[in-house]
Chain A
Amino acid sequence: MTRVFRAPDKASVSGKAIISEISKLGVDSIPLVVIISLFIGAVIAIQMTINIVSPLIPSYSTGLATREILLLEFSSTMMCLILAGKVGSNIASEIGTMRVTEQIDAMDIMGINSANFIVLPKIIGFVAFVPVLCVLSMFVGLVGGWAVARFTTMLTVENYIYGIQSFFNEWYVWYGIIKTVVFAYIIASVAAFYGYYVKGGSLEVGKASTNAVVASSILILLADVILTKLLLQ
Chain B
Amino acid sequence: MIEAKHVSKYFDGSQVLYDINAVFETGKTNLIIGQSGSGKTVFMKCLIGLMRPEEGQILYDGRLLRSMNAQQQKELRMEIGMLFQGSALFDNETVLGNVMFPLKMFSPLSHAEQLERAHFCIQRVGLTNADSKYPSEISGGMQKRVAIARAIALNPKYLFCDEPNSGLDPRTSIMIDELLSDITHEYGMTTIINTHDMNSVLGIGEHIIFINRGHCDWTGNDRDIFRSDSQSLNDFVFASKLFREVKRFLQVEYENGKEVGGIPLEKV
* A residues lining the B interface (CB < 8 Å): 9-10, 13, 97-98, 101-103, 105-106, 108-112
Contact = CB atoms under 8 A, between A and B. Distances in A.
Contacts of A13: 104-105
A98 B110 CA distance: 29
A187 to B, nearest CB: 21
A105 B78 contact: no
Contact of A105 (B75, B88, B89, B91): B88
B48 A102 contact: no
Contacts of B73: 111
B77 A105 contact: no
Nearest to A16: B104
A108 to B, nearest CB: 7
A103 B87 CA distance: 9
Interface of B: 48, 50, 73-78, 80, 82, 84-86, 88-91, 101-102, 104-106, 160
A110 B88 contact: no
Q: Which among A13, A98, A102 has the greatest number of chain B C-beta atoms within 10 A?
A: A102
A73 B77 CA distance: 49
Nearest to A108: B50
Contacts of A97: 91
A9 B77 CA distance: 13
A110 B77 contact: yes
A9 B84 CA distance: 23
B94 to A, nearest CB: 14
A103 B90 contact: yes
Nearest to B147: A106
Nearest to A109: B82
A102 B105 contact: no
Contacts of B106: 110-111
Contact of B88 (A10, A106, A111): A106
A109 B50 contact: yes
B104 A10 contact: yes
Contacts of B48: 109
Nearest to B77: A111
Nearest to B45: A105
A112 B105 contact: yes
A10 B108 CA distance: 11
Contact of A103 (B75, B76, B77, B88): B88
A112 B102 CA distance: 9
Contacts of A111: 73-78, 106
A102 B84 contact: yes
Contacts of B77: 109-111
A106 B84 contact: yes
Q: Which among B75, B76, B82 has the greatest number of chain A C-beta atoms within 10 A?
A: B82
Q: Which among B91, B101, B102, B105 has the greatest number of chain A C-beta atoms within 10 A?
A: B105
A191 B15 CA distance: 35
A95 B77 CA distance: 22
B52 to A, nearest CB: 13
A97 B76 CA distance: 27
A18 to B, nearest CB: 15
Contact of A110 (B50, B85, B86, B102): B102
A101 B88 CA distance: 6
B179 to A, nearest CB: 19
Nearest to B85: A102
Nearest to A10: B105
Contacts of A105: 50, 84, 88
16 contacts: A10-B104, A13-B104, A101-B86, A101-B91, A102-B85, A103-B88, A103-B90, A105-B88, A108-B50, A109-B80, A110-B78, A110-B80, A110-B101, A111-B74, A111-B75, A111-B76
A210 B240 CA distance: 45
A225 to B, nearest CB: 38
Given A109-B48, A111-B78, A102 B86 contact: yes
A10 B77 CA distance: 16
A103 B74 contact: no
Nearest to A113: B74
A125 to B, nearest CB: 14
A110 B160 CA distance: 12
A22 to B, nearest CB: 15
Nearest to A103: B88
A135 to B, nearest CB: 29
Contacts of A112: 105
Contact of B105 (A103, A109, A110): A110
B146 to A, nearest CB: 12
